[in-house]
Chain A
């Protein structure tokens, strides 16, 4: 695999609680991404990072924040989880040269009750 570890792999939590998902890479890649995958919507970009402390919003960023304090870790935080954020979350990484494909982790299944 592409040297990407997501944790936890599964989480069940209650509405209103904060949740943090972690993506760890061993490839030293500059670009990291967070997606959510829902039936009928495919993969949708939440946030991405183009370097340490450099992040930007994707198309579905409301209710989510991210942080990247070191190259290998990209954290996704739900400040106050809602049931609409129940989803499968994927992290992806990409090499630095333009046009290189993204490689995905195995996902975190998050259920918010």
Chain B
């Protein structure tokens, strides 16, 4: 099945910098989700978006559901070392599709 196009694949940033990543699809989704995965653990839900155009925040994280319903972005402000990990987007319609992940490295 067609997975989502997530970019960038990896990011190396300095502590305190802002981060932006996005996902695009050729299909429309009813729900966009963002997960974070730490080594040796399963993905943990960060933010869920349910309406086109919706902008939702969770602490330093902000995500938006694209107006076309085919894309979403995630921003992390003022990054800290514990933000290190792999971030996945997921689009949920009749089934669920995942991006390949963005690996984030934060240098102190």
Contact = CB atoms under 8 A, between A and B. Distances in A.
Q: Contact size class for B?
A: 20 to 34
A34 interface: no
A99 B42 contact: no
Given A59-B1, A90-B42, A101-B33, A43 B48 contact: no
Nearest to B41: A106
Contact of B45 (A4, A42, A43, A103): A103
Interface string A29-72: 00000000000111111000000000000010000000000000
Interface stretch (B13-21, B72-80, B90-98): B90-98
Instruction: Please classify how large the interface on chain A is, using the bins under 10, 10 to 19, 20 to 34, 35 or more.
Output: 10 to 19
B3 interface: yes
Nearest to A4: B42
Contacts of B88: 42-43
A101 B98 contact: no
Contacts of B42: 4, 90, 104-107
Given A99-B31, A105-B42, A107-B42, A42 B100 contact: yes
A45 B31 contact: no
A26 interface: no
B66 interface: no
Interface string A93-113: 000000101111111000000
Contacts of B99: 42
A40 B1 CA distance: 14
B87 to A, nearest CB: 12
A43 B40 CA distance: 15
Contacts of A107: 40-42
A99 B30 contact: yes
A47 to B, nearest CB: 12
A59 to B, nearest CB: 4
A78 B1 CA distance: 22
B52 to A, nearest CB: 13
By Cβ-Cβ distance, the 5 closest A-B pairs, closest first, are A104-B42, A42-B100, A59-B1, A43-B98, A42-B98
Interface of A: 4, 40-45, 59, 90, 99, 101-107
